[in-house]
Structure 1
């Protein structure tokens, strides 16, 4: 628990992260796809929000089989986005505005076009053969085990030239790297050094819990709860293909490297139950990632009872040295306004920015961008194309940022790579900047309140009793006490405490009542 006389927390503990999906933020060269110059052009919007850091989804050279998560060169920039000089300009411009910049590190797999894999598949005796995971066929000639790709189908691809299969947890164009090979591990840590030396402030580490597989690669057990209509991957329990003990030692090496550069941050993408999730903090003597990403506000039902349980259980699972974090949207998840409706999306914004821990915002959520239908002929997501009809498409969360009511929403001068939100002419940055009741105004006010009150940024947390449908909690820092109440229903509910309202998600109100869908922060 922090006290008012404690030393200042590290920036990532008191700060807020804003995720940018580079293809969809701002097109700077008129090809319908966002780029680094476009991001630089729109940095003032990010700074004006009041966030502390930007996380960029992958910008490295890539064939784009999975839109940048198939990396062909870990130390370059995809020409679609710019070049290293454009990156350096963006980094300098971000730092000049007081913004940190985080990159998306993809350590589990590369592109099959990466020179490392091209060498690895060239011969069984090549020096980089063991940089990837190759195995002989099963006795019947089929895959070496029963593992399923996260995108459906076998996780193994046969290579006729060398007579072996290689492992790919995702697309066949994304072969898994072998982190048990010391030379591969050293090369990947050198990648992190390359970007730290260039001045980046940290990494979001993609599918970190995948990076080591069990020795011997045994079959994964069947999932007794699987049923048709959910992802094929979940037909098995990923017992041997993810979350292996050796991966924690690698995370500790990554952390030691990051710490050697000062206040750098590592955010690990990890989907696990609380007890296993918490292990990724490591120990005080041998820490791992600073923030194992917590997706529970995305994955669970949106009602007071469920959220109270989720928040309480997560807080209880944290080690004493572990700092929490929260997220309600990302490039992989359905939009929060599409999930819970615009009225509750306002309450969700207050929840995200007043819970204990580091929040991550996703571009467009500050406008309340909701459901975007993607016509079949415009689907780009390989996950949706491989497993259609079960609602897992990610294009709906990656649509271009609407900036104004000019053609193509000010995002581009030509038709964007994905459709815009259908209400872009009125739901855009310019329109909401001029509206004191807008979602954008609410986000700015919440972030300003968070900066003004250490109780919200780094204070202690306690759940409070409240009426059904109301989630209430207290934030405390020294003598300062703030309380938050969120009405998660469409009917008025009694306010569970007295005090002065510092901020409401709605305009007006009071008299001891929470209006439908209202959230309040009170002193």
Structure 2
């Protein structure tokens, strides 16, 4: 995958249902109409993440339907849902084989070929921490699981499950209640690490990369804190470097993306991940923490930032249109889509959909598009598909104020330099803000430039000396400039005068 890519996430099961409704027939991965793939390619994305293609667990479906809290979320997201709409969690994997409902392995192979024909890579899921209770390993390799006792089951039935005469721990992280539809794998088990490598090699033959669910849970420190003595002796080596190196010996360009939290992104990058979720930027934008925390994050090491994946929504987070509102989503999107690293777009985000679908449901509710937001995203994506936003040099700009200007620090600015030049300035506050913005280009003196923002229909002419020394910029609340900086050719006679 190229540098600073755009990844388009599709919740595969309900997406195929929607495609089928548009076509008037059942649709699986192998017979998706070409126009659907064309529409995704037209966004300018570089890869598609087909979330949730592996076999679902019938046992997981039954557990979901018996969970009153979960059922309440089903009814809220999809009024009038039926049990037939509950397909089961894609993260309660029964087996790493493409679900027949989605078209099976042959269907996935056809879908991959269609994506490749359009220059798009394919990303799939890998769930390292747990599997469904009816996964074949439960019977074949019980030693790769965290076990409990009959007493554990009696005292804490929400955290343990009896399967085939053995008590297994439900999957969990150290901060929340257990996930009752899955059983916990033992990251310290040598046999599990071998099995994970075999599984990933099988997956790698079908796609170009994986998004690894809750990847930090398999780090030695985290796993030991979560499971203590139940996990057995702590191994000398970490899980991920062993697994990733083994896969890359056979698939050198295979991409690993980590769902990561708790400030463990840098550690996972060191262990071999190409990209890690940037929950930090997301939280700062959602919580309206202002410009300084975002500026501090963007001032971090460029190599580290290049290994982050920025997002405004995904299948785990609320829809951006609901979380940010109309105005703030635009400036948040400009911020996330024009910084270093990978950028994630969730299917439906570009349409302004507001309902987050629980992952266990296989059908979306009918929602209307936000036509103004659709128009904004079309303009934004048309700009950021330009090659400089992938292969160019990114640099944070200096913004400074003056004694009677308390708003200057509300603006953040950065540039991209490549085959074209871009200047991005954002106001992450609810007040009008102004500052002097200096670009890091030394070859601008004595020249004039046209600054063009196609996302807002703006055009300015500025002297290169002003751009270099400090150009006055004023932006209203939650506004931005996404400016292409083009030199203006000056006739020789004018240059002499």
Q: TM-score, normalised by structure 1?
A: 0.69
- In structure 1, the partner of 2:53 is 59
The answer as to whether partners of 1:212 and 1:246 remain within 8 angstroms in 2 is no
Q: CA RMSD in A?
A: 3.8
Worse-superposed segment, 132-141 or 256-265: 132-141
SS state at 1:113 partner: coil
Cα 1:495–1:48, aligned 2, differ >3 Å: closer, same or farther? farther
Q: Which of 237, 259, 272 in structure 1 is aligned with 2:248?
A: 259
Cα 1:320–1:25, aligned 2, differ >3 Å: closer, same or farther? closer
Cα 1:366–1:241, aligned 2, differ >3 Å: closer, same or farther? farther
Q: Which stretches of structure 1, 4 residues or more, deviate above 6 A after TM superposition? A: 31-34, 213-218, 238-242, 396-399
CA apart distance, 1:481: 4.8
Q: How far, CA to CA, are the matches of 1:320 and 1:137 in structure 2?
A: 46
The answer as to whether partners of 2:133 and 2:163 remain within 8 angstroms in 1 is no
CA apart distance, 1:94: 0.2
- In structure 1, the partner of 2:169 is 166
Tell me whether 1:135 sits opposite 2:166 in the alignment.
no
Alignment of 1:407-418 (within 5 A): 417-418=363-364
SS state at 1:203 partner: strand
- In structure 1, the partner of 2:116 is 95
Deviation track 1:83-109 (CA, whole Å, cap 9, x = no partner) reads 111111100000000010000111211
Alignment of 1:475-490 (within 5 A): 475-477=415-417, 481-489=421-429
The answer as to whether partners of 1:108 and 1:210 remain within 8 angstroms in 2 is yes
The answer as to whether partners of 1:16 and 1:51 remain within 8 angstroms in 2 is yes
Structure richer in strand, relative to its length: 2
Greater C-alpha Rg = 2
CA apart distance, 1:114: 1.1
Q: TM-score, normalised by structure 2?
A: 0.72
CA apart distance, 1:364: 1.4
SS state at 1:135 partner: coil
Q: Which of 129, 148, 156 in structure 1 is aligned with 2:160?
A: 156
CA apart distance, 1:473: 1.9
Deviation track 1:413-445 (CA, whole Å, cap 9, x = no partner) reads xxx834222xx1x53xxxx5xxxxx43343344
Cα 1:154–1:500, aligned 2, differ >3 Å: closer, same or farther? farther
Unaligned runs of at least 5 residues, structure 1? 1-10, 121-127, 144-152, 221-237, 373-393, 400-415, 433-437
- In structure 2, the partner of 1:442 is 376
Tell me whether 1:327 sits opposite 2:335 in the alignment.
no
Q: Which of 350, 357, 364 in structure 2 is aligned with 1:395?
A: 357
Q: How far, CA to CA, are the matches of 2:276 and 2:212 in structure 1?
A: 9
Q: How far, CA to CA, are the matches of 1:309 and 1:171 in structure 2?
A: 33
- In structure 1, the partner of 2:196 is 188
Cα 1:215–1:345, aligned 2, differ >3 Å: closer, same or farther? closer
SS state at 1:173 partner: strand
Cα 1:37–1:301, aligned 2, differ >3 Å: closer, same or farther? same
- In structure 1, the partner of 2:186 is 178
- In structure 2, the partner of 1:47 is 41
The answer as to whether partners of 1:207 and 1:269 remain within 8 angstroms in 2 is yes
- In structure 2, the partner of 1:363 is 347
Q: How far, CA to CA, are the matches of 1:510 and 1:95 in structure 2?
A: 40
CA apart distance, 1:79: 2.1
Q: How far, CA to CA, are the matches of 1:190 and 1:58 in structure 2?
A: 20
